[in-house]
Chains A and B, each alone.
Chain A
Amino acid sequence: MASLDDPGEVREGFLCPLCLKDLQSFYHLQSHYEEEHSGEDGDVKGQIKSAVRSHLSDFKKHRAARIDHYVVEVNKLIIRLEKLTAFDRTNTESAKIRAIEKSVVPWVNDQDVPFCPDCGNKFSIRNRRHHCRLCGSIMCKKCMELISLPLANKLTSASKDSLSPHTSPSQSPNSVHGSRRASISSVSSVSSVLDEKDDDRIRCCTHCKDTLLKREQQIDEKEHTPDIVKLYEKLRLCMEKVDQKAPEYIRMAASLNAGETTYSLEHASDLRVEVQKVYELIDALSKKILTLDLKQDPPPHPNTLRLQRMIRYSATLFVQEKLLGLMSLPTKEQFEELKEKRKQEVERKKILERRATLESQQRLEERRSDLVSHATNGEVVSLRGGPAPLRKAEGWLPLSGGQGQIEDSDPLLQQIHNITSFIRQAKAAGRMDEVRTLQENLRQLQDEYDQQQTEKAIELSRRQAEEEDLQREQLQMLREREREREREQFQAASLHMRTRSLDFREIRPFQLEPGREPRNHLAHALDLGCSPAPSSAAPKTPSPSLALEPIRVWSGPPALGQEFFPQSTTSQHNEVPSLNPFDEEDLSSPAAEGTASPPAAEPSLGPPACVLKEYNPFEEEEEEEAVAGNPFTSPDSPAPSPFDEEDGHPHQRPSGPPVPGNPFEEAPCTNPFEVDSESGQEGEEPIEEELLLQQIDNIKAYIFDAKQCGRLDEVEVLTENLRELKHTLAKQKGGAD
């Protein structure tokens, strides 16, 4: 089962292109597609991609041209900035600084600019000209901007980092800058006041400053990850985990609830606990996001709050949706029961299959007896002899409901009928996976039945041919008498077969088609199995319609089996070289049986049962859940969040206690029954204890949910139920203690 989910698995068959279900046949696939996907327009996914047109390449082309220009601009400024800061400004004279500055970028001539280009004021003695050290242009003092050295360093070092990402991790440029900055700050405090020397800042125009500030912003954004993002990433991780684990759990629970033993109960409940932990984490994280920065002084922008609320809301939706889908596990006792049922079911199926095999065997035996049994297939018979006693133990007649009145002429039809009734039963019992398996069987059976006519004919023709050969070669006087007797019985049938066989001889090759072999085998086994019956009545067509016949066939096998034992031994004694092509198939038939029914899994039925006896984590989980559920039952827990009044969304109301960390920590004291449920965990419990706890747990979840949606009447009803349940629990506990 698990192998189906292997990521790298290659699947083949008639897969639905949309849901990847294997539909077994073209027709099933077609009808499935019409039923399930007809609403999704008539095409397959790949073909319905709507028309679109991308302008991205065009856009990029235009942008690239623009960006080049912009980048050059920025880089120029940064290179100049670096030059301006590359020497020790504090310990250099003003004049020298000025000289260096002028060498970086040529200054515009004072005479050329009579007015400040930015504000338009006339320059004079009082309104002096200032030069931008980055581009050399002129502005007045008012329009002048300053770049502090730390900012300059940040800009230059960042671009160095980005320009030379290959530099060694020691980050030499950085460390140089760092040390320089330190020395500057220590000395500058003294000297900066003395004159206009600008030892810790660089003059520039507003345009250059703007460009640089934009650049700084970019750098900042690259480095900074806000808290909400970190929390959100964690939240998404948790959700992914749930998406991955929950289906696994649901599959397990479904399987366990059906009484299968593919998974262990313990493992499943571990997984359940795990998933529930993740839910708690999601709840806690989303709550944390909701209250993020709420206390800050300038309150966050309404949009930030909206974002936080929406994240919380969607997390709540997520939990609600998935948590409710998390079905409960059966208790140990229930599980045992389920297993028992399942076992019977499997038995029943096995018997069906066994019967099929037996029928083929019976047919074989009869033929053999007819032919004086020359084959050395004694061991085959003994292999098949095994099942017979089992069958005695569990008659399957009562299991199949409609058995008595079955009127179908053909065993296959009968099986189809039986399985249909099983499906009905399973459906009534709500065990969908069984229904699925059964339907699978049914489909196969139907397919087989469809093939039956052809197969039968082919088979008969082949057998007939062999019979004739063998009869001729292997007449043995010793067996003559016996054969005579048998002959009488079967003559009618074989005569009839002979007439038929000729017509179908050409079709024989199909029989050997390897892919069909196993199925064919079963089919023809069944087919031939029914042939003796007609013989007793009258020559009939291969699919006779005798009402009584099936019953006779079923009661037949054990008797026949016994009867055949001596026969087969004799045949062994005779050690006639086998010309019987059926030998091979006979040998394979038990194998086929093995693969078709799951008896191989049966040995494993034992161990899990033992394990379950001492199994305990499950109870712990229940206990935990009971605790966890509590906050939900206390309707008037203190107002959980300041959001209550603010948001109009009923769903958003934070439901848990105010403690932001673990919502499930606070509550234990609120529930008077808590003690009961805890103390109840030890020792032998009455059967329904776990179930009760589980129900309590579920109801709590529903109450929680109902409250969130503001349906108070439901809450009442639910609370009532909860109380009752707890009462029962307490009573039970009282009785047990």
Chain B
Amino acid sequence: MNVVFAVKQYISKMIEDSGPGMKVLLMDKETTGIVSMVYTQSEILQKEVYLFERIDSQNREIMKHLKAICFLRPTKENVNYLIQELRRPKYSIYFIYFSNVISKSDVKSLAEADEQEVVAEVQEFYGDYIAVNPHLFSLNILGCCQGRNWDPVQLSRATQGLTALLLSLKKCPMIRYQLSSEAAKRLAECVKQVITKEYELFEFRRTEVPPLLLILDRCDDAITPLLNQWTYQAMVHELLGINNNRIDLSRVPGISKDLREVVLSAENDEFYANNMYLNFAEIGSNIKNLMEDFQKKKPKEQQKLESIADMKAFVENYPQFKKMSGTVSKHVTVVGELSRLVSERNLLEVSEVEQELACQNDHSSALQNVKRLLQSPKVTEFDAARLVMLYALHYERHSSNSLPGLMMDLRNKGVSEKYRKLVSTVVEYGGKRVRGSDLFSPKDAVAITKQFLKGLKGVENVYTQHQPFLHETLDHLIKGKLKENLYPYLGPSTLRDRPQDIIVFIIGGATYEEALTVYNLNRTTPGVRIVLGGTTVHNTKSQECGVLGFSGGAVVKNPPANAGDTGSSPGPGRSHMLRNS
């Protein structure tokens, strides 16, 4: 149940199977992203893959001394490109891998194009999703729904992505879905259909407890994506934006040339791997330790290397030192930028009120705090709109709801029409009417007591009070208590035992806060392995597209929250994205 490993294994196998010699990797737009998430350039170079080309690029030279490894999604377009490629082959030999099921007729037309017999392999390798973390995947689908229903194209993409994931993990699951969402039901049915149709593929060794696929809809919890995050990976994603492990730092004031774009990959960066789930304060002290450690190792002018022994020690430590200095400068820059943004945008205060809005039920104090922040000049227009959105979602039906007043305040603050519109859109998307379950008021006695105790003790960390709704859902699921009337099984059979291998898919996108939840559950619950996925993991890019979809009309494509930043705010303000993350 490690998605990064699963995809990497596919890619490695492709490369291995093509034998020695110079190679070119021929990909499409999506598979480029898939590969880049699991392999770094230098890693893949060592395997003699020297060129990376897009199948649709016209400017490719004939290089008969190269072997071509084609890793493509099985779309009509790609098949056509490939047919043209085979008619006039540019490389000596072709190893063709489709990332999903390809039709027999497509295979036939490809075969007929291969008059020069250059094709040595045609296979399906089911790496058809973006592996973000070992337990987190994304399909990078933006705007998956039209209104409450699926865009048919995206539905088929989501189905393909999910079935590929199941195949790559070798799971043939039972399926449960969120009853309140039509989209979830549709997707569940489509996945089931594929499993039935390709039953030979899904014949895996049976496990004692069959794996479970749970399909949820974002609209059930529109709150989580609206909150500021304080763990490292989530913050970086939210404030700077991570795109396929890359972070664009070019807008950081005074950034040095080689730090314009940095790569944060848990695979290759130990510090990142150790800290990605820690919160900001801890990262601060860890960075400090890292620095101190580094300073100790760093040769200084005054620290003369007096003896040969000193010298030798220095030289022997040098390679580590070198590696370390790269890591240090990268993380110091990133964390520095994060903390700059936090103070510039007054995020600590904003986050505190956000958490209050999300987790507590004190209407008057919440309203007061929101009003106060709306007056603050430091709070950006998007953050302001977000606060109002949270308020609107939580106190939608509250007797003394003063949303109109807040909207007025927004207007007075000069928040643009676009953002103000988001408020109503968000309510429409994730309001009470839509939600299948109650987000805000805990129903059972245990939860009420818990919250009461929490209130008494004071909260350990005001910025991380919020637990995503997913936590509760998964907790119930693991304990076998998830209600069947809310999350029914597809088909007649039900799971008797507690589930062990769980795949959760959120239509409308997952967040890094939820990824953290899953990570912690995996760690703390022995015997349970959970993989989380979403049509997207909210990031800068999804936010831009979200804006597009949004401006296109009343269609809510993503949690509108992602529609946050249109790039209108200059400089670092771009990071307004929503939780991106």
Seen from chain A, the residues whose Cβ lies within 8 Å of a Cβ on chain B are 40-41, 48, 50-56, 58-63, 66-67, 70, 214, 218, 221, 225-226, 228-229, 232, 236, 301-304, 306-307, 310-311, 313-314, 317-318, 324-325, 650, 688, 691-692, 695, 698-699, 702, 705-706, 709-711, 714, 717, 720-721, 724-725
A-B contact pairs, 16 of them (CB 8 A): A50-B125, A51-B126, A52-B124, A55-B102, A56-B121, A59-B107, A59-B114, A59-B122, A63-B112, A67-B115, A214-B116, A221-B64, A226-B65, A303-B51, A325-B319, A699-B315
Question: Once the chains are docked, how many angstroms separate the CA of A709 from the CA of B318?
Answer: 14
B5 near A710: Cβ-Cβ < 8 Å: no
**Contact call B308/A691, Cβ cutoff below 8 A:** yes
- Verify B5–A41 contact, CB threshold 8 A: yes
A717 near B299 with CB under 8 A, answer yes
In order of increasing CB-CB distance, the 6 nearest A-B pairs are A62-B111, A301-B61, A310-B50, A314-B45, A63-B111, A55-B122
Q: How far is the CB of A162 from chain B (nearest CB, A)?
A: 14
Closest chain B CB from A564 CB (angstroms): 49
Known: A714-B325, A717-B301. A313 touches B45 (CB 8 A): yes
Interface residue? B311 (CB, 8 A): yes
Interchain CB contact under 8 A, B50 and A59: no
* Contact between chains at B63 and A304 (CB < 8 Å): yes
Q: Which residue of B lies closest to A649 (CB)?
A: B41
Instruction: Report yes or no: B119 in contact with A59, Cβ–Cβ below 8 A.
Output: yes
A528 to B363, CA, bound (A): 82
Q: A residues within 8 A CB of B125?
A: 50, 52
Smallest CB–CB gap between B14 and chain A, Å? 10
Minimum CB distance partner of B116 in chain A:
A218
Contact check, B107 vs A62: say whether CB atoms are below 8 A apart: yes
CB closest residue in chain A, given B62: A301
Is residue B443 within 8 Å, beta carbon to beta carbon, of the partner chain? Answer: no
| Contact across chains for A702 and B318 when beta carbons are under 8 A apart | yes
In the complex, chain B residues whose CB is within 8 Å of the CB of A699:
315
B305's partner among A52, A62, A303, A724 (CB-CB below 8 A) is A724
Q: Is A41 within 8 A of B2, CB to CB?
A: yes
Nearest CB to that of A311 among chain B residues?
B50
- Chain B residues with CB under 8 A of A51: 126, 167-168, 170, 201, 204
Contacts of B66 in A (CB 8 A): 307
Most buried by B among A56, A70, A318, A720: A56
Residues of B within 8 A of A717 (CB): 299-301
B39 at the interface (CB under 8 A from A): no
Residues on B lying within 8 angstroms of A by beta carbon are: 1-2, 5-6, 9-10, 13, 20, 22, 42, 45-46, 48, 50-51, 53, 59-61, 63-66, 92, 101-102, 104, 107-108, 110-112, 114-117, 119, 121-126, 167-168, 170, 201, 204, 258, 299-301, 304-305, 308, 311-312, 314-315, 318-319, 322, 325-326
New A-B pairs, 15, CB < 8 Å, besides A50-B168, A53-B123, A324-B319: A40-B5, A51-B126, A52-B125, A56-B123, A58-B104, A59-B107, A63-B114, A66-B111, A67-B117, A221-B64, A225-B65, A307-B22, A307-B66, A314-B50, A724-B305
Select A695's contact among B5, B10, B170, B312, beta carbons within 8 Å.
B312
Per the bound structure, the CA–CA distance linking A692 and B123 in Å amounts to 57
**A628 to B429, alpha carbons, bound, how many Å?**
69
Q: Give the shortest distance, in Å, between B284 (CB) and chain A (any CB).
A: 25
Residues from chain B with Cβ under 8 Å of A67 in the complex: 115, 117
List A contacts of B116 (CB < 8 A). Answer: 214, 218
Whether the pair A53, B22 counts as a contact (CB closer than 8 A) is: no
Residues of A within 8 Å of B42, CB to CB, are 314, 317
Complex CA gap A398/B398 in Å reads 82
Q: Are the CB atoms of B301 and A60 closer together than 8 Å?
A: no
Chain A residues whose C-beta falls within 8 Å of the C-beta of B111 in the assembled complex? 58-63, 66
Task: Chain B residues near A53: list those with CB within 8 A.
Answer: 101, 123-124, 201
Q: How far is the CB of B29 from chain A (nearest CB, A)?
A: 19
Measured between beta carbons, the chain A residues less than 8 angstroms from B102 are 55
Please, which residues of chain A bring their CB within 8 A of the CB of B115? 66-67, 70
What A residues does B325 contact at CB under 8 A? Answer: 711, 714
In Å, the complex CA distance between A60 and B111 comes to 7
Instruction: Determine if B314 and A692 form an interchain contact, defined as CB atoms under 8 angstroms apart.
Output: no
- The answer to whether residues A303 and B60 also contact, given A53-B124, A59-B119 and a CB cut-off of 8 A, is yes
A50 touches B10 (CB 8 A): yes
* Number of interchain pairs (Cβ within 8 Å): 152
Instruction: For A62, give its contact among B48, B59, B108 (CB under 8 Å).
Output: B108
Cβ-closest chain A residue relative to B9: A50
Which of A41, A225, A228, A705 has the largest count of B CB atoms less than 10 A from its CB?
A41
Say which residue of A52, A226, A307, A706 sits within 8 Å of B51 (CB atoms). A307
On whether the beta carbons of A710 and B107 are closer than 8 Å, the reply is: no
What residue in chain B is nearest A699 (Cβ atoms)?
B315
Chain B residues positioned under 8 Å from A714 (CB to CB): 322, 325
B319 neighbours in A (Cβ, 8 Å): 324-325, 702
Residues of A within 8 A of B123 (CB): 52-56
Cβ contact within 8 Å between A229 and B65: yes
**Given A59-B122, A313-B45, A50:B305 Cβ within 8 A:** no
Taking a contact as CB atoms under 8 Å apart, the answer to whether B122 and A317 are in contact is no
A318 to B48, CA, bound (A): 12
Q: How far is the CB of B92 from chain A (nearest CB, A)?
A: 7
CB B173 to nearest CB in A, in angstroms, measures: 14
Shortest Cβ distance from residue A337 to the other chain B in the assembled complex, whole angstroms: 13
Residues of A within 8 A of B9 (CB): 48, 50
Q: Are A706 and B322 in contact (CB under 8 A)?
A: yes
Q: Is the CB of B92 within 8 A of A221?
A: yes
Taken together as a complex, chains A and B put the C-alpha atoms of A710 and B126 apart, in Å, by 40
* B314 and A721 contacting across the interface, CB-CB below 8 Å: yes
> Considering the chains assembled together, what is the distance between the CA atoms of A59 and B319 in angstroms?
50
**Cβ of B122 and Cβ of A54 under 8 Å apart?**
yes
A55 touches B322 (CB 8 A): no
Q: A232 CA to B114 CA in the complex, in Å?
A: 28
Contacting pair A228 B65 (CB below 8 A): yes
- Residues in A with CB closer than 8 Å to B300 are 717
* A218, A303, A706 — most chain B CB neighbours (10 Å): A303
**Shortest Cβ distance from residue B201 to the other chain A in the assembled complex, whole angstroms:** 6
Residues of B within 8 A of A306 (CB): 51
Bound: A689/B401 CA distance, A: 84
Complex Cα spacing A695 to B315, Å: 7
A residues near B110, Cβ cutoff 8 Å: 59
B45 touches A650 (CB 8 A): no
**Contact assessment for A318 and B315 in the assembled complex, using a CB-CB cutoff below 8 Å:** no
Among A51, A307, A324: residue with most chain B CB under 10 A: A51
Residue of A nearest to B5 (CB): A41
With both beta carbons as reference points, the residue of chain B lying nearest to A698 in the complex is identified as B315
Closest to B303 in A: A717
Q: Cβ of A720 and Cβ of B308 under 8 Å apart?
A: no
Closest to B2 in A: A41
The chain B residue sitting closest to A220, CB to CB, is B64
| A58-B107 CB under 8 A given contacts A41-B2, A51-B170 | yes
Residue from A54, A225, A650, A705 within 8 A of B322 (CB atoms): A705
Do B50 and A236 touch (CB < 8 A)?
A: no
In Å, the complex CA distance between A302 and B22 comes to 17
- A691 touching B312, Cβ below 8 Å: yes
Give A3 to B131 CA distance when docked, in angstroms: 43
| Complex contacts, B201 vs chain A, CB 8 Å | 51, 53
- Contact in complex: B2, A720 (CB < 8 Å): no
B569 CB to nearest A CB, Å: 29
Contact of A307 among B50, B92, B312 (CB under 8 A): B50
| Chain B residues with CB below 8 A from A324, complex form | 318-319
> Whose C-beta in chain A lies nearest to the C-beta of B22?
A232
A74's nearest neighbour on chain B, judged by CB, is: B115
Question: How distant is the Cα of A226 from the Cα of B64 in the complex, in angstroms?
Answer: 9
Given A229-B65, A721-B311, answer yes or no on A50-B318 (Cβ-Cβ < 8 Å).
Answer: no
Chain A nearest CB from B25 CB (Å) reads: 11
User: How far, in whole Å, are A225 and B65 apart by their CA atoms in the complex?
Assistant: 8
- Chain B minimum-CB-distance residue to A728: B308
**B307 to A, closest residue via Cβ:** A688
CB-CB under 8 A from B59, the residues of chain A are: 302-303
Task: Report how far A226 CA is from B10 CA in the complex, Å.
Answer: 31
Known: A50-B10, A50-B168, A70-B115. A710 touches B258 (CB 8 A): yes
